Structures are given as structure tokens and as C-alpha cells.
Amino acid sequence: MRFAHLHLVALLFLCPAAGWSGLPENARGSGENAGHWQPDPMHEYWDPGTYHQPETGPMAGRFQGEECLECHTVVTPGIVRDWRESRHAKSAPPVLCPACHGEDHQKLRLPTPRTCGECHPRRVAQMEEEKKYGFPGHALAMERAVDSKHFADKPKAEVASCLQCHSVATKCDSCHTRHRFDPAEARRPEACLTCHSGPPHPDDEAYFASPHGQRYLQEGSTWDWSRPLRKGHYPTPTCAYCHMKDGNHQVADKAVWKFGIREINPRTAENTIKRKRWLSTCADCHPPEVARLFFRELDTERRQAWGKLYGVEGLLKALRGEALLRPSARERPPYPMDLMARLFPRERIGFYEGQASAFYNVGAIERDYFEMWYFDNLGAFKGMAHGAKEMSRRFHERLDAEARAIAAKARHLREGKGAGTAEVDLAPIWMDGEYTRFNRDNN
């Protein structure tokens, strides 16, 4: 037996053709804009259910788990070592390679949540349940990304990384990585930070600046991470402790303000239920009054932020009424994939009138406003939501400074100093320029 396998290994290394078959030349994208983008080889990993192409190299045959192990100890020793240390290897009977990848080496699959769900149905069902709370959320992450117009529209180089993060929906190894599948890894904040960092979602900065994160930084290395995320097990909470309470694999059932990008009424019946879930999370360690006060302050901060944003929005709308926004909707190149904007050009000011992707073909004053609500506003929210008040204050200072700068620009325009000149000539950027040609040729 053993000899036969070594023989196979030898045969394999003699054969230079071994390798992934790769995506077909004409592979199509997925989602609403499927016809407008082509997947890259990495999409085989990020969305394996849609894109993984089975190995069609010289390796042929059906194998039992022990045979996979024997050969892969030589071919991919790191994978086998990680697997041997995992609970999958130690459970009885062990969960062998074919459980996730199949037995036929010409038809191997990379596992999707559905594959894991064959043995972990409760966890997969919890993630699926997120969908009823709408976006954002992990279960919807892939479709939200590929359905964004700017994902299909912009040059590949600018959107190459989107699906690395948004693949959280299409595979289960984002937080407990393959092939250890170690919950201890997933409990730590670092498991989330590969994706939850940087503008417009500076969750890392907010958490590490909070009293909870500070304590983690000081003593987290001495905590026993093998313990489940339950009351009494950890002195201060990590991301997963708060957002996946008791190991619940859904992150959306408590979110009131969500991404922070819309104004929301925190007192609706549904939001009151969500708040109660938050209060019971904090109650693991704090008296109820601490949490109640905390959320009252968060809602106040949100009201202030939206007050500032609406003030500027009103100003821009007034400028639009006075025909002082240049380039105007008719002058500027329409957003390439936006058919409605071509037929019926109109300025779209702020979140409610247009999505983020609509803000690349506008004049400087509108772009400034976009920066306000997309970066400064979201940073202010994330700081406050995580108890990093100083961070939130800093972002509010920036909101104020931007608002003042926009008001000064508006005065300029009204005094006639800026009128008549589009601040940037955008036509070459969008419809006719190098940027668009590159996009058409490479996307």
C-alpha cells in the first residue's frame, strides 16, 4: 500500500503539467452586473461555490482519507500539520480531507458554508438568519459587493481587494482559519481586523482606543482563549464577545445604527428590541444604568452628527437651486453604468440621493461633502459606539472644519468668484479618457 503511494508521488513530481485548471477565458462575473466584469483567479478561493474549477492535472482517482493524508504529508505538509492539530483530526471518527473536499481528485471542491453546514447546521442557519435584518451583514456581503455599480465599473486595480473581505459570506474560514479551524483564534479581535479596519470602518482604531481594548492590549496575552465567549470567562469583551454573544454566528440582530451611513430612529419597536439585546450583553459585566447611559450618549452623538450633515446638505441644495454647482448634472460626464443618470441628469446630493459611487464625477465642493458623510461621520460613529470618545471628538472636529470650509466655498461661489468654472474638467476622467478606456479593456 504504502509503496504504491510513494510511487504515485514520484510520478507526480515528474509531471510538470500539474496545476490548477484555472478559470475559463470567458468566465463571467456574478450578480446584477455579471455581464460587466470578469472574475480573477483568486475568485476561485473567495467564492468557491461559484468559481472553483476542479483540478484536472495528472492526479486522478478516488482516495480514502488515509490516502489523502499520506500523499499530502509530502505535497502540502503545512496543511496536514494544521489539520492534525485541529479538533477535526481528534474527533471520533476524525473529519478527514474528503469530508470537505470530496474523494475524486479530478472533481475536488473547496468547501462553501453549505459544506460545513452538513455537520454544523446551527452555525450556518444563524449566519443565514442575518439576512432578515438586511445589510450590512456577513451573509449578504458577497452580493452587496458584486452588485455595487462601482465594483463593476472601476478599473480592476481599484477594486481587486473588495472580495477578499466580502468573501466572509461565501466561505467559513474568515475568522477561524483553515485547517486548524480554531475557535480560540476567532475569539480574538485580530480575527476581525483583517477586514474591519481603515476608513470607512475604523473598528480597530475604535476598539483599541476604548477601555475594553486597552485592557486587552495590556493583558490579553495571558487570557485563556480556549474558553467560550460567555459570562464570567473574560474580563473585558472582544469584538466577537459583543457582536457574536454566546457564539451566535450572526452579527446583525443588535445593530441599530448599522454602518452609520443613514439617519435612523433608534426608538422604533424593532430597534427597541435590538437595544435590549445590547443591554443584556453589557449586563454580563456592568449594572444596567451604565449601558443605558452609554446608548443615550451614542444616540445624542448621532443626532449631532446628522445635524451637521443636514446643514451642509441644505447649503448644497440651495447652491444647486441657484445654478452654482459646477459642473452641473448636465455638464458632467454621467456615471458610466448609470443609465438613468444619462437619460435624466440630476445632481444627487448626499446619501439619500445617490450612492457613494456617484461621487467621483462631481466638483470639489460636492466631493468635500462626500468625505464628510462617508469618512468623518463614520469615524465619529465608530468611535462613540465603542466607547472611544476622544476618537469620536476628533472626527467631530473634522466635521466642523469641513462644514466651515464648505460654507466658505459657497460664499465664494455666491460672490461670483468661482462661478463659470468647473473646478475640475471631469470629462476626460470618465467617458472618453484613459481611465475609462483602461476600465473597458481590463474589467
Shortest distance in whole angstroms from residue 141 CB to ligand HEC: 4
Q: Which of 27, 34, 42, 79 binds ligand HEC (CB under 6 A)?
A: 79
Shortest distance in whole angstroms from residue 2 CB to ligand HEC: 12
Shortest distance in whole angstroms from residue 190 CB to ligand HEC: 9
Shortest distance in whole angstroms from residue 182 CB to ligand HEC: 5
Cα separation, 32 vs 85, whole angstroms = 42
Q: Which stretch binds ligand HEC (CB under 6 A): 4-12, 319-327, 394-402, 423-431?
A: 4-12
Q: Which of 37, 51, 207, 430 binds ligand HEC (CB under 6 A)?
A: 207
* Interface positions, 367-386, toward ligand HEC (CB under 6 A): 385-386
Q: Is 149 in the site for ligand HEC (CB under 6 A)?
A: no
Shortest distance in whole angstroms from residue 45 CB to ligand HEC: 4
Q: Which of 10, 15, 60, 119 binds ligand HEC (CB under 6 A)?
A: 119
Residue from 327, 335, 390 nearest 358 by CA = 335
Q: What is the CA radius of gyration of the chain?
A: 26
C-alpha cell at 166: 466580502
Residue from 231, 272, 298, 269 nearest 290 by CA = 298
Cα separation, 421 vs 417, whole angstroms = 9
* Interface positions, 36-65, toward ligand HEC (CB under 6 A): 45, 48, 54-55, 57, 59, 63
Residue 188's Cα: distance from chain center in Å? 18
Q: Which stretch binds ligand HEC (CB under 6 A): 23-31, 117-125, 310-318, 322-330?
A: 117-125
Cα separation, 350 vs 309, whole angstroms = 9
> How many residues belong to the site for ligand HEC (CB under 6 A)?
125
Q: Is 127 in the site for ligand HEC (CB under 6 A)?
A: yes
* Interface positions, 96-115, toward ligand HEC (CB under 6 A): 97-101, 103, 105, 108, 110-111, 113, 115
Cα separation, 336 vs 439, whole angstroms = 11
Rounded to 5°, angle at Cα 248 from 244 and 252: 60
Q: Is 67 in the site for ligand HEC (CB under 6 A)?
A: yes
Q: Is 396 in the site for ligand HEC (CB under 6 A)?
A: no
Shortest distance in whole angstroms from residue 387 CB to ligand HEC: 5
Q: Is 155 in the site for ligand HEC (CB under 6 A)?
A: no
C-alpha cell at 373: 458623510
* Interface positions, 263-292, toward ligand HEC (CB under 6 A): 278, 281-282, 284-286, 290-291
* Interface positions, 219-258, toward ligand HEC (CB under 6 A): 228-229, 234-240, 242-244, 247, 249, 251-252, 255-258
Q: Which of 22, 41, 211, 307 binds ligand HEC (CB under 6 A)?
A: 211
* Interface positions, 5-34, toward ligand HEC (CB under 6 A): 5, 8-9, 12, 18-20
The answer to whether the CB of 325 falls within 8 A of the CB of 363 is yes
Shortest distance in whole angstroms from residue 229 CB to ligand HEC: 4
C-alpha cell at 35: 455581464
Rounded to 5°, angle at Cα 107 from 105 and 113: 110
The answer to whether the CB of 223 falls within 8 A of the CB of 215 is no
* Interface positions, 287-326, toward ligand HEC (CB under 6 A): 290-291, 294
Classify residue 250 as left (phi > 0), alpha (psi -120 to 50) or beta: beta
* Interface positions, 180-199, toward ligand HEC (CB under 6 A): 181-183, 186-187, 189, 191-192, 194-196
Through-space distance between the first and last CA atoms of the chain, rounded to whole angstroms:
49
Cα separation, 215 vs 235, whole angstroms = 8
Buried b (16+ CB within 10 A) or exposed e, 57-76: ebbeeebeeebbbbbbeeee
Q: Which of 23, 29, 39, 124 binds ligand HEC (CB under 6 A)?
A: 124
Q: Which stretch binds ligand HEC (CB under 6 A): 25-33, 177-185, 328-336, 401-409?
A: 177-185
Shortest distance in whole angstroms from residue 314 CB to ligand HEC: 25
Buried b (16+ CB within 10 A) or exposed e, 398-428: bbeebbeebeebbeebeeeebeeebebebee
Shortest distance in whole angstroms from residue 351 CB to ligand HEC: 11
